[in-house]
Structure 1
């Protein structure tokens, strides 16, 4: 059903990976899990926020260690990550910077601790030359019931 769709996800705590799995169950799409060097981010959420803020301030985004397929074979990229300080997580930002030349549509999905802030607006600013479809945000506390939200979101995306 989703042969031209790729799910791309970075997960720091496992929450975004859980949402990506729900999306994959619903869509049957291929999946790419973004990774960074071991030890890049501490286990503590607040310490991780400090590292990410330093990365943003110095414009030194983390290097991604995952290998990915040719993106031009996909018409839609579902790109997910955690909300960090109301913004797109730095590993996802790193991936978005590498989308030059991609000609499809992107759609964000994200997990948060209850405060998504302006995540989708931040995401759209990072890919100004690409069409951005409506995103899907799920609070970590609602992940157990995410399948219904994912199904509604996918129905909207796949009917366009």
Structure 2
């Protein structure tokens, strides 16, 4: 929990220091790469220290990335309808977890844990490519919020 809170605070600080687009790209990449830490856990055996380090890193980077995502969603919302739009966009962000969970449960026995975590890291690529494709819209939304 502490790692997640530190990540959220760090994400807020980082987004105020960088533009939104590079923050989304950097933090999204970090969130993807931190999944590779679980491969270390797979090969370390039952090691509580390694588990604590990997899970803490995931929570920290999740807090960083989630903060940048909240800034993006907030920038995309119209002020007059922000509560409704924010709720809908946040719910839409959770759809992947709901539908991909059963696929993950099927996939792990097929490929093994190490390969599964490589796949989870690579699964961030479409989202990162979408951020790149939407760079203009992200920059416009950010400028509209600043002015």
Q: Which has the higher contact order (CA 8 A, sep 6+)?
A: 2
* Bigger proportion of residues as strand: 1
How high is the TM-score relative to the length of structure 1? 0.26
How high is the TM-score relative to the length of structure 2? 0.28
Larger Rg, first or second structure (1 or 2): 2
* Bigger proportion of residues as helix: 2
